[in-house]
Amino acid sequence: MNFELTNEQQMLQDSVARFIQDNYDLESRAKSAASKSGFSQDHWQTMADLGWLGLGFDEADGGFGGGHVDIMLLMEQFGKGLVLEPLLASVILGGGALKRGACAELKTEILPGLIDGSRQLALAYAEEQAHFDLHDVITTARSKDDGFIINGHKSMVLHAGTADQIVVSARTSGGQIDENGISLFLIDADAEGVKRENFPTVDGLQACEVTLKDVIVGSNRLLGELDDGFAILNNVATDAILALSAEAVGAMEILYKDTVEYTQQREQFGHPLADFQVMQHRMVEMFMEYEQCKSLLYRATMEAAQGSATTQRTVHALKHLVGKSGIFIAENAVQLHGGMGMTEELRIGHYLKRMIVIDAQFGNADYHLQKFAA
Amino acid sequence: MDIELGSEDLAFREDVRGFFAENAYKAGEDYNVWRLEWFKKAAQMGGWDVPKWSKEFGGPGWTPTQHYIWEQETATATLPWDMPFGIGMVAPIIMAYGNEEQQKRFLPDIRARKVNWCQGYSEPGAGSDLAALKTKAVLSEDGTHYTVNGTKIWTTMAQIADWIFCLTRTDDSGIKQEGITFLLFPMKQKGIEVKPIITLGGAHSVNMVYFTDVSVPVENRIGEEGKGWTYAKGLLQHERTGLAGISRSIVALEKLKEQASSVKRGNGSLMDEPSFRAKVAELEIDLMASEYTELRSLASASAGSAPGPESSILKLKGTEIQQRIAKLTVEAGGIYSAAWGRGVGHKFAKAGMGGYLASRAFTIYGGASEVQKDVIAKNVLGLKRSTT
């Protein structure tokens, strides 16, 4: 048992922390969010140059062979800055499907650009009727000639607006909620029959509704085996939950620390707010929840890194706790900041919005509690 | 004790329903014309345009049961848009502490919804600790007018308000609750600057308001100089009770059930999921109790006695319930609640997030929950306050 970071991990953490510190004040973030792509192209390039986009890929695929712990360290710092750049969407979701399912040829075609920042991916897995179930898929892929024709509607596709290619889950056999019979395809975002409606999300990011009408895709763009896409999708979702949870833990740290600082400065009734016991106890609760989430994040991350058989269950536990505690901490941070916490001017509220969205992504606290208890 | 509605009450309820149905907004109508006409007709019913005003000032003089019926019916009917600051906040103070001339001057325009008011209470350094306010009002040597300087914060709708009722400091030599003076003055005048504060949903409803040498005639002072805190305190209690919104929450919960039923889960809906269902049920139970807490409070108020201890918990419970409903609505919307400013997926999800974000302020304004609990501990439980 060892919680110490290696020298390399320490360097990574320091370098991401420094980047956030230097670049991610609220004003610059708002400016990037308001730009057309919804994030900073310069930051994106920096992230590529520093090797962060290739962290999760094997050296054989042109990556840096980092593991779950590295991604955790990166995302935790991203959470502190509420980073806008589409690392989750492009690298962990889209890239995650590619590295698990693409043949060598397709990897060679796509991954170098993904890692050097010139190519962006997205993952279209959600459908309206599915709520949080990855295996509830209506979109169909019919085989025709040497390929497939895809028809359907994909929802809330993170950063699809700026993506070059989109990984799409589609039903190739079986019933609507069968795990078998789902296949993954890599389609060009501007292929004929692909319609993307881009819109902002409440946390300052962007997503698309994607309509697919008779979209033709070659069989060489099938990821993994036919009908066997669910296993890949599920593993990508596990990585995504780990990444989102790390991000949330970073955000929680900011929330509780900002609150501790603010309540010491703000005076009411002739005392700093932090002198009041009711405030102190609340902040202690926030701090406790943060530490517990961090512990469970470490547990889940290390289990995943080891390929432990209990990983899935621990990840359910993690997403439940992070959803519940993240919102608890964020809502109380707003409450203890009083009216100021309700303004766009202070960063607290922006973290609350992100925390709400993180809870809603890949299954909320209730959903994972049920999965865990099942 | 008896919960059966008498025949008179049942008749009253029919009258109210009939009135709402008859005067409902019809598509295509000019909204503002309809709105003012609605209030006029409500006035003709005998003070229905000002339900909470006393009979002496033209209110209906209802029994608690009638108020309760009205509350219930208004929660489901679509009433014209109204702001609370004139009718519900400054008017009761003018009635109780203003002189006859002030009552004649201000009340008719308030009642006719001709003048928009805003409330100048909170300041950057005086939030929960409202009595710490510093906006200075200095009486001229000839005693004809005050000169007001200072800053107010969280002033709702200051950007459209014609008048402000304002707590100012005229004396800082004694304890902070003394030396506060209640002034009324027009917003559109030299020396007043309104700066928007953008809140979490991107909305602009609250503002900073800066006063620089604003001149206020002494006739615009309510009651005595230095007694403003006493006048405002009564109102705050009134405001807090009004913020509970129990009837509205009952309607909101029903709506949430419908929305959750429209979210498919397997062969059923989200409403069939035990964990979600349990949260809705808990809310329903809390609302059943709160509804009767409100009734008990109404009953003691109409008997002329001071508000009973039960009324002190209404704002706390009511706002907490509103927040829980708002949060469950976001949960029901799932990932679609994240889409901002446009309807994607579930139809209700678009409004859900804005409602949730706004709801976070409910336990902050009108006396933060932490302070409300202090007040209950002290005034109701009779506990001594420790130094902090």
- Per-residue pLDDT of B107-158, as tens digits, reads 999 999 999 999 999 999 999 899 999 999 999 999 999 999 999 999 999 9
* Residue matched to tokens 């395809």: A185
**CB-CB neighbours of A360 under 10 Å:** 25
* pLDDT, position B267: 84
CA dihedral B230, B236, B238, B239 (to 10 degrees): 160
Q: Which residues on B lie below 8 Å from A327 (Cβ)?
A: 327
Residue B1 or B232, more confident: B232
Q: Rg (Cα) of chain B, in Å, rounded? A: 22
Going by the DSSP 8-state scheme, the letter that residue A340 receives in this structure is G
Q: Which residues on B lie below 8 Å from A175 (Cβ)?
A: none
Best of A157, A268, A328, A368 to disrupt the B interface by mutation (most B CBs within 10 Å)? A268
Nearest CA in chain B to A276: B388
d(CA B20, CA B274): 38
* Residue matched to tokens 């678009």: B350
d(CA B82, CA B32): 11
Residues in chain B, overall count: 388
The answer to whether B34 and B25 have CB atoms below 8 angstroms apart is yes
Q: Nearest to residue B52, comparing CAs of B302, B254, B368?
A: B302
3-class SS letters over chain B: CCCCCCHHHHHHHHHHHHHHHHCCCCCCCCHHHHHHHHHHHHHHCCCCCCCCCCHHHCCCCCCHHHHHHHHHHHHHCCCCCCCHHHHHHHHHHHHHHCCHHHHHHHHHHHHCCCCCEEEECCECCECCCHHHCCCEEEECCCCCEEEEEEEECCCCCCCCCCEEEEEEECCCCCCCCCCEEEEEEECCCCCEEEEEEEECCCCEEEEEEEEEEEEEEHHHEECCCCEHHHHHHHHHHHHHHHCCCHHHHHHHHHHHHHHHHCCEECCEEHHHCHHHHHHHHHHHHHHHHHHHHHHHHHHHHHCCCCCCHHHHCHHHHHHHHHHHHHHHHHHHHHHHHHECCCCCCCCCHHHHHHHHHHHCCCCCCCCCHHHHHHHHHHHHCCCCCCCC
d(CA B360, CA A328): 12
Nearest CA in chain A to B155: A339
* Residue matched to tokens 């959600």: A126
* pLDDT, position B305: 64
Average pLDDT, chain B: 91
Instruction: Kindly report whether the global pTM for this prediction surpasses the value 0.90.
Output: yes
* Residue matched to tokens 């130094």: B387
Please report the residues numbered 119 through 158 in chain A whose beta carbons come closer than 8 angstroms to any beta carbon of chain B: 126, 128-129, 131-132, 155-156
Longest dimension (CA), chain A: 79
Task: Output b/e per residue, A218-244; b: 16+ Cβ within 10 A.
Answer: eeebbbbebbbbbebbebbbbbbbbbb
* pLDDT, position B299: 73
A130 token code pair = 């599915």
Query: Which secondary-structure segment (H or E) carries A210?
Result: strand A206-218
d(CA B330, CA B337): 6
- Decide: helix, strand or coil at residue A330: helix
With a cut of 60, say whether residue B387 has pLDDT above it: no
Q: What is the pLDDT of residues A135-188, one digit of tens each?
A: 999 999 999 999 999 999 999 999 999 999 999 999 999 999 999 999 999 999
Residue B203 CB partners (closer than 8 Å, separation 6+): B354, B358
Q: Which residues on B lie below 8 Å from A324 (Cβ)?
A: none
* pLDDT, position B308: 65
Residues lower than pLDDT 70 in chain A = none
**Minimum mean pLDDT range among B84-98, B140-154, B321-335, B371-385:** B371-385
Q: What is the pLDDT of residues B191-247, one digit of tens each?
A: 999 999 999 988 899 999 999 999 999 999 999 999 999 999 876 666 566 668 888
The answer to whether B182 and B221 have CB atoms below 8 angstroms apart is yes
On the CB side of B51, CA atoms within 13 Å amount to 15
Residue B84 or B181, more confident: B181
Query: Which secondary-structure segment (H or E) carries A40?
Result: none
* pLDDT, position A3: 87
Query: Given an 8 Å threshold on Cβ–Cβ distance, is A276 in contact with B388?
Result: yes
- Decide: helix, strand or coil at residue A158: strand
d(CA B137, CA B171): 9
- Decide: helix, strand or coil at residue A53: helix
Look up residue B175 and give its amino acid. I
The answer to whether B315 and B367 have CB atoms below 8 angstroms apart is yes
- A20 φ, ψ to 5°? -65, -45
d(CA A344, CA A198): 23
Please report the residues numbered 336 through 355 in chain B whose beta carbons come closer than 8 angstroms to any beta carbon of chain A: 336-342, 344-346, 353
CA distances from B83 to A42, A187, B109, B113, B242 (A): 47, 53, 14, 9, 13
Please report the residues numbered 226 through 285 in chain B whose beta carbons come closer than 8 angstroms to any beta carbon of chain A: 263-266, 270, 273, 275-276
CA distances from A349 to A20, A35, B55, B124, B361 (A): 18, 21, 45, 19, 11
* Residue matched to tokens 């069939």: B272
Residue B312 or B29, more confident: B29
- A201 φ, ψ to 5°? -105, 165
CA distances from B290 to B203, B248, B249, B329, B374 (A): 30, 12, 10, 20, 21
d(CA B144, CA A258): 48
**What domains appear along chain A, each with residue ranges and CATH number?**
7-116 (1.10.540.10), 121-227 (2.40.110.10), 231-373 (1.20.140.10)
The answer to whether B283 and B253 have CB atoms below 8 angstroms apart is yes
Q: Is B100 exposed, middle or buried (0-12, 13-18, 19+ CB in 10 A)?
A: exposed
The answer to whether A121 and A94 have CB atoms below 8 angstroms apart is yes
ipTM: 0.91
A291–B contact, CB cutoff 8 A? no
d(CA A206, CA B379): 50
Establish, for the pair of chains A and B, how many residue pairs have beta carbons separated by less than 8 Å: 131
Residue A160 CB partners (closer than 8 Å, separation 6+): A89, A122, A124, A166, A189, A196, A198, A207, A208, A210
Query: Given an 8 Å threshold on Cβ–Cβ distance, is A342 in contact with B364?
Result: yes
**What domains appear along chain B, each with residue ranges and CATH number?**
7-82 (no CATH), 90-96+115-231 (2.40.110.10), 243-380 (1.20.140.10)
* pLDDT, position B294: 84
* pLDDT, position B240: 60
Q: Which residues on B lie below 8 Å from A341 (Cβ)?
A: 360, 364
Q: What is the pLDDT of residues B49-88, one digit of tens each?
A: 999 899 999 999 998 888 888 988 988 888 899 988 999 9
* pLDDT, position B262: 93
Residue A168 or B296, more confident: A168
